Amino acid sequence: MSRRGGLKAELETAIGPVRLSNPVMTASGTVGHSTELARYLDYSKLGAVVVKSLAPYEWPGNPPPRVHPVPAGMINSVGLQGPGLPRWLAEELPVLAASGARVVVSIWGRSLDDFATASDLLASADRSAMEAVVAVEVNVSCPNLEDRGRMFSHSAAMTQAALAATANCGLPRWAKLSATGHLVDIAAAAVEGGAAALTLINTLLGMVIDTESRKPVLGAGGGGVSGRAMGPVAVRSVFDVHAAMPEVPIIGVGGIASGADAVEMMMAGASAVQVGTATFADPRAPANVLRELARWCASRGVGRLDELIGAAHE
């Protein structure tokens, strides 16, 4: 008997040991460090809220201009500006916890010691506030000063080392990776370093040049390209990694602006998705994606997300 059109989908999903009521999250860097978008979003209704990446110290970020539109997306070089983990833990996390959000804290560093320090800060943080934190996203898509400024995620060895350095945090760790020609190898290294899941993918390196001034439009020169245009790259990345390591949970991110985009990413192999750049155009985008996903599933008789995850590999 067909269930088409008459079934309310069960949207609960599991990302390793982390169980979420639904698979839609915010993407790091797009909703700030706290409840900046609370007037538009009920944080408690999302699967989780991933905060902007935090170093173990305050970081000023890059010089302006920092953001510029590109066709079907944007390019940014904010430079991971943030208040630092100690201040965030004391001032911002309690506010997020009070909103009912399930929180994923994203951490970054310029060295292995930075990642270890961030992990230690989380391990020693106040337990009552940390109850809202369900996972740690280890953003290894950042420059490594110990490796000639190359991104950690462009090296399998450094990716593994960065994940291993965060083992003390006491929470499931998700490795956020960039798209590279060796993504499967780097993803495997992240898992070897202790990652319980993989977040695929971060922004793509790019540049826009002002043809009048003959200079890059962003203050730091190049930046990260995000938005709808990178969707196919993200889908391919998720597909390839899931094909190689079907047992490893994946969070798909890149170009998601609709429920159908989320379905496509899950069919590629993602167990959950993150909505990022779409939020700049419409702060309600994560909630919209969740609502559209539920409607898509109900209209096609999909009762559980398990029916979608990895479906393109069957």
Task: Work out whether the CA dihedral 15, 19, 25, 29 comes out positive or negative.
Answer: negative
Band of residue 97 on the pLDDT scale cut at 50, 70, 90: very high
DSSP for 184-218, written as a single string: HHHHHHHHHTT-SEEEE--PEEE--EETTTTEESB
Amino acid in the structure at residue 30: T
Least confident of 18-22, 67-71, 139-143: 139-143
pLDDT for res 6: 54
At 130-140, the pLDDT tens digits run: 999 999 999 99
pLDDT for res 11: 97
Cβ proximity of 245 and 214 under 8 Å: no
pLDDT at 71 over 80: yes
Give percent of the chain above pLDDT 90. Answer: 90
Helical (H) or strand (E) element with 281: helix 278-281
Give percent of the chain above pLDDT 70. Answer: 96
pLDDT for res 144: 60
Cβ proximity of 161 and 200 under 8 Å: no
> In whole numbers, what is the pLDDT of the chain averaged over residues?
94
Q: How many residues does the chain have?
A: 314
Name 280's Cβ contacts closer than 8 Å, sequence gap at least 6: 30, 74
**Alpha carbons 63 and 243: distance in angstroms, whole number:** 40
- 89-120 in b/e form (b: 16+ CB < 10 A) is beebbeebbebebbbbbbbbbbebebbbbbbb
At 230-272, the pLDDT tens digits run: 999 999 999 999 999 999 999 999 999 999 999 999 999 999 9
**Residue 8 Cα distances to 11, 299, 305, angstroms:** 9, 9, 12
Name 243's Cβ contacts closer than 8 Å, sequence gap at least 6: 269, 313
pLDDT for res 143: 67
Q: Count CB-CB contacts under 10 A for residue 281.
A: 11
What's the alpha-carbon Rg for the chain, to the nearest Å?
19
Q: Which residues are catalytically annotated? A: 142
Per DSSP, 82 falls in state: B
- As a whole number, mean pLDDT of residues 106-127 equals 96
Q: What is the end-to-end Cα distance of the chain in Å, rounded?
A: 22
Structure tokens given for 131: 């109850």
Pairing of strands 73-76, 173-177: unpaired
3-class state of residue 12 by DSSP: coil
pLDDT at 101 over 70: yes
pLDDT at 49 over 80: yes
Helical (H) or strand (E) element with 257: none
